[in-house]
Structure 1
Amino acid sequence: MSQEFSRTDRVSQEIFRVLSNLLRREIKDPRLQTLTLTECQVSKDLGIAKVYFSVLGAKEGDQAVMDAEQALKKATGFMRSELAQALRLRVTPQLRFYYDTVPDRVDHIEALIRKALY
């Protein structure tokens, strides 16, 4: 039984793959060395791509996260042009980067559970 995916899901996965490769192979900014993309969500009209990232060993508000956000903002034009060449869509989505707070919340909840058990 085959599982069907919507077009937005397929485009999201492809954007995630292309951006991950760009960050790993093309972009040499040292502020992005410990950055990992965690998720990509595309709007239904394919006009906006929300890309979530985390920074190894950093929490929300840390200087490393702010530096990574600045580096991503600076590289957005390059990434979007590369994305346009790779995807060949009628409209290339605008890239918006957000720090992924899920790992921080998981750490906090785990700490609360440990505290409650001991």
Structure 2
Amino acid sequence: MADHGRAAKLGDQVKEIIAKRLDKGLRDPRLGFVTITDVRMTGDLQHAAVFYTVYGTEQEREDSAAALKAATGMLRTEVGRNIRTRLTPTLEFIPDAIPENAAHVASLLAEARERDSAAAALAAAAEYAGDPDPYVQPRDRADDDEE
């Protein structure tokens, strides 16, 4: 049975180790401004999925992905030196979709605001379909006496 607590703790350690190593710098000029967002370990602690984001253009993202792929062996060695496990986990770098998802949600919220303001403008100019006062009014007593 897998110990999920231990996997989470080891994932946090791996995240710290990789982030510190990237902060020191790699000798690869393709590496841009990379942020490690999350590390998820498998239950047997033999594989680590490392999620990252890159600040910059699409070309900088692609270059950083290639640099991380090229540095995977060196980063795995660094992780192996700094953790206390029998086996060093393999590393897989996965681009995190948080910025794209956030931009999509922001655009959806802007569209919803526009539609709400359009609906409010229509409601402000709307009129009732029937009489202005659709409720039955009590008759005056003077009208009753004449009949």
- TM-score band by shorter chain is 0.7 to 0.9
Normalising to structure 2: TM-score of the pair?
0.71
5+ residue gaps, structure 2: 115-147
Matches within 5 A, 1:101-112: 101-112=97-108
The CA RMSD measured in Å over matched residues stands at 1.4
Instruction: For 2:108, give the aligned amino acid.
Output: L
Matches within 5 A, 1:36-115: 36-58=35-57, 62-115=58-111
Paired residues in the alignment total: 111
1:4-53 C-alpha deviation (Å, 9 max, x unpaired): x7100110000000000000014242322311111100000011100001
CA distance in 1, matches of 2:25, 2:59: 24
Shift of 1:66: 1.4
Paired residues of 1:35 and 1:56 also in contact (CA < 8 A): yes
Paired residues of 1:37 and 1:52 also in contact (CA < 8 A): yes
- Identity of aligned pairs, percent? 32
Bigger CA radius of gyration: 2
More displaced, 38-47 or 101-110? Answer: 101-110
1:34 counterpart residue number: 33
Paired residues of 1:23 and 1:32 also in contact (CA < 8 A): no
